[in-house]
Amino acid sequence: MIDIAGWAPEPRETVEVIDPAPSMALAGVLDAEPPGEELPPLWQWLHFLERPAQRELGADGHPREGRFLPPIPDRSRMFAGGRFRIHQPLRAGDTVTRRDELASTALKNGRSGEMLFVTVRHTFLRGGVEIAVEEQDLVYRSGGAASRPPEVSFQAPEADAPWTSPMAADPVLLFRFSALTYNAHRIHYDETYATEVEGHGGLVVHGPLLAILCLELPRRAGLKVTELSFRARRPVYARQPFVAAGSPDGDLSIEAPGGVTAMTATFA
């Protein structure tokens, strides 16, 4: 049984000067035009990165310990979604403080057993003034992986929406995104581990990458986004065709093979 009694991590602050180089690199990964000095929504994930020593990593590639990592055994981690509210954009060259704190925890029962939902809040400040607030929802499960990987479809999905962007993420793209975000989780680059240990149907496309691809639709349409939310519903695997779909009304999604909606998002 998951037990987090007494787990109450203190808030933490980190200061960083926003370097434009990571945004230039991500634009190359996405085959997109580089942004100007303002960071597009969610591109803050290229900054304030933790860089643990190799000895501090667990078998899955994640750090074994951390301020906001719950103290539960055999912990597996999933990215579930989040929200982002922007008062003023982060800009290249700015000195920004990020204040991190545990916002909430919730224990739920799923098909694979008990799951701990953790929400971490990141507040961004410039000159002491709050400019943006992000909340990330993470799911932790204690115990073994699924008994067998799911069947994976490679049939091209259909999407009926004003905006569509079809693509597939190959292992090279996943490697480059992992490198940009300093994400060593093995489900994104070690197919044997992903399938045989964590029970996936292949290499997993990063949830944050899918969320960024959703928000690329209004960005490329020239719309300014000040608030957004997204929820990861099903994994997408390497080489699977998928479509980022959406409309100016504010609805976005990732449509995967087999009629599966892998992610939903809204923006305003």
Query: Residue 76 pairs with which residues in a beta bridge?
Result: 141
Chain segment 9-45, per-residue pLDDT in tens: 999 999 999 999 999 999 999 999 999 999 999 999 9
When pLDDT is cut at 50, 70 and 90, the band that residue 143 belongs to is: low
Selection from 57-71, 107-121, 146-160, 246-260 with the highest mean pLDDT: 246-260
* pLDDT given at position 111: 67
Chain segment 189-218, per-residue pLDDT in tens: 999 999 999 899 999 999 999 999 999 999
* pLDDT given at position 71: 85
* pLDDT given at position 74: 77
Q: Is the pLDDT of residue 8 over 90?
A: no
* pLDDT given at position 114: 82
- Domains in the chain (CATH in brackets) are 12-267 (3.10.129.10)
* pLDDT given at position 147: 59
Span 72-77, average pLDDT: 81
| Average pLDDT value over all residues in the chain | 93
Chain segment 149-159, per-residue pLDDT in tens: 788 999 999 89
Task: Choose between 4 and 266: higher pLDDT.
Answer: 266
Q: What CA–CA distance (Å, rounded) separates 49 from 52?
A: 10
Q: Is the pLDDT of residue 236 over 80?
A: yes
* pLDDT given at position 108: 85
Under 8 Å between Cβ of 261 and 255? yes
- Weakest mean pLDDT among 76-85, 136-145, 187-196, 198-207: 136-145
* pLDDT given at position 48: 98
* pLDDT given at position 23: 98
- Weakest mean pLDDT among 54-63, 65-74, 191-200: 65-74
Span 134-144, average pLDDT: 86
Going by C-alpha positions, the residue among 140, 184, 145 that lies closest to residue 7 is 140
pTM (2 decimals)? 0.94
Give the whole-number percent of the chain exceeding pLDDT 90. Answer: 80
Token pair recorded at residue 123:
């507040």
